[in-house]
Structure 1
């Protein structure tokens, strides 16, 4: 077997091993970030719903306002 060819094969295998490690790390980090974004999205949805509910409960109903105004003038 050609020793130079064996050295080149060994070097290329080492490069591919390093590439695999980097890609595995990037994939792990990407998955973790995606999971964090999913949590953030759920929190944002809940907070938005709470704010919308608070706005609805804080807004006076026009029929009630009219009844109150009518009751005061009597």
Structure 2
């Protein structure tokens, strides 16, 4: 999968590959997109950060990525 998804590719993704599936935001179909979600985590609305953090960690484990961000790790505990 390429680093940037066009509109059609994004529409084809199932809800369960998004960090916020209810809003279909933060797609993570591969390792590079997990890194992108980690980088853009700060732009997530405060009330949704715990859900996104948990999903980032779940996808990171799936793709063998170590997340070291203390902010993400802290929100994942909430």
**Does TM, normalized by the shorter one, top 0.5?**
no
Higher strand fraction: Structure 1 or Structure 2? 2
**Shorter-normalised TM-score: what interval?**
under 0.3
Q: Larger radius of gyration, structure 1 or 2?
A: 1
- TM-score with structure 2 setting the length: 0.23
Q: Which has the higher contact order (CA 8 A, sep 6+)?
A: 2
- TM-score with structure 1 setting the length: 0.24
